[in-house]
Structures are given as C-alpha cells and as structure tokens.
Chain A
Amino acid sequence: QKEVEQDPGPLSVPEGAIVSLNCTYSNSAFQYFMWYRQYSRKGPELLMYTYSSGNKEDGRFTAQVDKSSKYISLFIRDSQPSDSATYLCATYNTDKLIFGTGTRLQVFP
C-alpha cells in the first residue's frame, strides 16, 4: 500500500463549480498535510497545510483532514480556468515529505 494515494484524474469541471480533491494516507501517525498546485512546466507551489484534524480556509480554498478515516480533501469554490493545474497532496513521514501522484484538474469556461 502506498503511503499517500490520490486519484490521478483528470477531473474536468465548468467554471464556477465547487471542486473536491481527495487523498488517503496509510499511517495514522502522520500529522502535517500539505496541498501543492503545479502548473505545466513549473515547480509545485504550496497552497496550504494543516496540522492534525480539522479545516483550514484561505480564500476560495479549504483544506480538510479527517484523521478517523485517514482522508484529506481540498475544496475549491467558484473554480476558475486559472485553477487548471495538477494538485498534489503530501504528508511528512519521519521528516520526509511524501507526495501523492497528483490530480489533474481542468476548469473550462
């Protein structure tokens, strides 16, 4: 079993839709959960991170962690074509950042 699993997509939604991106992780000891956005031919950009359980909101983005089910989510409200990118979840395993494979999101006008 992989430490972090993520549906690769692609996920295609119309502009203005609410997007839900999800990951599962294997080890209940993981505490820090990160979301990165990567545009084509660019390096990943840190969107937000959460510690332990709960929600964190930043503008149109909300990160959610459910430790009981080992499930992490990123919600994007009012999605825009500029949100089209690959979204990567990640978590720390003994000081090493482990990434999911990424979900490719396409927002069409």
Chain B
Amino acid sequence: KAGVTQTPRYLIKTRGQQVTLSCSPISGHRSVSWYQQTPGQGLQFLFEYFSETQRNKGNFPGRFSGRQFSNSRSEMNVSTLELGDSALYLCASSEGYEQYFGPGTRLTVT
C-alpha cells in the first residue's frame, strides 16, 4: 500500500497570507489527523477528521482549519499567517490506534 502523501513538501509564505496544505491518507483509512511540529513545542495535535467530520480539535486558534473530502483526502488551511506559524506540518492517517505519518510540509513564514 502506498503511504501517506503530503503536498507541497516545502512552502514559503509572507506574513498575513493564507496557505492550504493537502494530505492523501493510506487507502482505506478514514481518519486523518494534523500536527504542527516546532523545535520549541514539539509535536502538537491540531485536529482530526473522520468520515468528513471533525472529531477532535487541539488548542490552536481559529486561523487553523481543515476539512476532509469523501475520498478521505484532507486539507488544512492557515489564514493570516504569523511568523510563529513556521513549522513542519504533519498529517497522519489511521484505522484504529496506529497512526501513520506523511513526510510533512515545511512551511516558512517570512
């Protein structure tokens, strides 16, 4: 089976812009979770989608949002980018307790 894929892999944006990241889960997995990874805070949970519905949400501001499509593919959006949003954004798909991560999208905000 193909693994989790994320696009784009690298992104540079300017403060105040918005960005959309994409994730394609492992075939057959219905749950997709998003995480932010930074050197200071480590891996932090953003939200989880299951069958097109947000099932869980972490402690991030409303500028961070996501959605899931009927084919389980997911997108996350960050509006009004801030310098502190520079991070590796990881997507994980799961069916049960085992979460499998994609390679991540490295976002740099200048």
Q: How many A-B residue pairs have CB under 8 A?
A: 48
B9 CB, min distance to chain A CBs, angstroms? 10
Report chain A residues within 8 Å CB of B100. Answer: 46
- Say which one of B41-49, B69-77, B79-87 lies at the interface with A: B41-49
Report chain B residues within 8 Å CB of A36. Answer: 101
**Tier of interface size on chain A:** 20 to 34
- Say which one of A10-18, A21-29, A76-84, A97-105 lies at the interface with B: A97-105
Name the interface residues of A18-43: CB closer than 8 Å to any CB of B: 32, 34, 36, 42-43
**Tier of interface size on chain B:** 20 to 34
Residues B101 and A44 in contact, CB atoms below 8 Å apart: yes
Asked if A87 is at the interface of the complex by the 8 Å CB criterion, the answer is no
How far is it, in angstroms, between the C-alpha of A45 and the C-alpha of B98 when the chains are bound?
A: 10
Within 8 Å by CB of B56, from A34, A90, A95, lies A95
Listed in ascending order, the chain B residues whose CB lies under 8 Å from chain A are: 4, 33, 42-45, 48, 55-56, 58, 90, 92, 97-104
- Of all chain B residues, the one with the shortest Cβ separation from A6 is B42
Within 8 Å by CB of B45, from A46, A88, A96, lies A96
Within 8 Å by CB of A99, from B42, B48, B97, B104, lies B42
Residues B33 and A45 in contact, CB atoms below 8 Å apart: no
Report chain A residues within 8 Å CB of B103. Answer: 42-43
- Of all chain A residues, the one with the shortest Cβ separation from B97 is A32
Known interface pairs A43-B4, A49-B98, A102-B43; 6 further A-B residue pairs with C-beta atoms within 8 A, sorted by A's residue number: A94-B56, A96-B56, A96-B58, A97-B33, A99-B42, A100-B42
B58 CB, min distance to chain A CBs, angstroms? 7
Residues B104 and A43 in contact, CB atoms below 8 Å apart: yes
